[in-house]
Amino acid sequence: MKALVELANKAREVSGVRIYKRNVEAVLSAVLKSGDFWEIVDMSSLPVPAASGIVKVLIDEGILFIDDEENIKLTQKGFDFVRELGIETFEDHSCKACEGRGIPFYANIELYREFLQLTKDRPKAIRDYDQGSVTPETTISRVLFMDSRGDLRNKDIIVLGAEDDLTGLAIALTRKAKSVLVIDIDKRLIDFDNQIFKELGIDNARAMVWDLRNPLPEDILGNFDVFVSDPPETLPAFRAFIGRGIATLREEGGVGYFGLTLRDSSVFRWRDFQISLTSEFGVAITDIVQNFNHYITWDYHSETKAAELAPVKREPKTIWYKSAWYRIEALPGFKRWNEPISDDVFYLDEEGSTT
């Protein structure tokens, strides 16, 4: 039987992404809990190519097999292996009340109700822009999180390129912000928001079409207290969304929120992002709440690289794609970045797979 570290190295070769011993353990621990590949990705907190590479290697080694219903299971040899290593079943003690976020969506049930009723016919997530909407519970929890940190009331807030989640709409619905500006590449979302703002007479909120690959116009730079975004996980996209987000901040003490996932990006990439945030952009990270953002599986799932890479064809049955919720605070001397950016690898690189 190969050692875990050898299995990790082999999976790294197969998948082309960075994998270490701990990741193989995490997959085995998850398999003890569920045979569903997408749940295994979720529980092991790995990029899809990494989880998939590990599963494939473990099948090759006779540790796992796929049954007739496309469940991933341990062989007898696999059970012995896992027992020998002392790997135990994945456990999750997350709070049932707040779904582990620390802030329950029902803390403002009126807002949740109004949001749900107004968004019944919201535009569906489409592949063109790497969209994937979070659950309404996530969106409302984001707003309540912001409120709990003093980042909502009487603040000028901009939502950049993340309005498939309708977070800008939810913020506007609180009627607590000073102003809300939503910019997104997708005209359907912009029209949807503006229509509701108009119907409800919310005149301090507006939405406009913008492609974040282009520099932001001058009148947006340095004019906001808070930005919210949800970037694709490539480095160029991170710069375009978060760099520009920081550039919209008025002054030190300005705040940014965004999602970052370990399903399309490794912990190695996360460190790169964190070095960039703290050393280059001059912000401090105040919060990282894992699995805060729950994404509804997108209709175009079967067309993604993730589906292609998966060791099984079976589609996800439940929510499997989650991301962490970051909060950053701009310190004196923070950097406003607003360069043009090329199309190359904007949405997809070797670790990403859900576009």
Is 124 a binding residue for its own copies by CB under 8 A? The answer is: no
Compute the half-sphere exposure of residue 276: CA atoms within 13 Å on the CB side of its CA.
Answer: 16
Task: Tell me which amino acid residue 135 is.
Answer: T
Is 258 a binding residue for its own copies by CB under 8 A? The answer is: no
Nearer Cβ to its own copies, position 177 or 216? Answer: 177
Among 67, 68, 69, 97, binds its own copies (CB under 8 A): 97
Interface with its own copies (CB under 8 A), residue total: 61
In angstroms, the Cα distances linking 101 to 41, 142, 233, 304, 329 are: 20, 9, 21, 28, 20
Among 124, 271, 317, 335, binds its own copies (CB under 8 A): 271
The first and second tokens of residue 72, run together, are 């991933």
Task: Tell me which amino acid residue 84 is.
Answer: E
Among 77, 176, 213, 336, binds its own copies (CB under 8 A): 176
Nearer Cβ to its own copies, position 196 or 242? Answer: 242
Nearer Cβ to its own copies, position 150 or 217? Answer: 150
Question: Least distance in Å: CB of 269 to its own copies?
Answer: 9
- C-beta of residue 26 within 8 angstroms of C-beta of residue 40: no
Among 60, 80, 88, 299, binds its own copies (CB under 8 A): 88
Nearer Cβ to its own copies, position 23 or 354? Answer: 23
Stretch that binds its own copies, among 72-80, 129-137, 245-253, 294-302 (CB under 8 A): 245-253
Is 252 a binding residue for its own copies by CB under 8 A? The answer is: yes
Buried b (16+ CB within 10 A) or exposed e, 156-189: bbbbbbbbbbbbbbbbbbbebbebbbbbbbbeeb
Q: Which of residues 4-63 bind its own copies (CB under 8 A)?
A: 20-23, 25-26, 29
Interface mask (CB under 8 A) for its own copies, residues 276-295, using x and -? --xx--xxxxxxxxx-----
Q: How far is CA 50 from the centre of its chain?
A: 17
| Positions that interact with its own copies (CB under 8 A) | 20-23, 25-26, 29, 85-88, 90-98, 100-104, 107-108, 144-145, 147-148, 150, 153-154, 176, 178, 251-253, 262, 267-268, 270-271, 274-275, 278-279, 282-290, 324, 329, 331-332
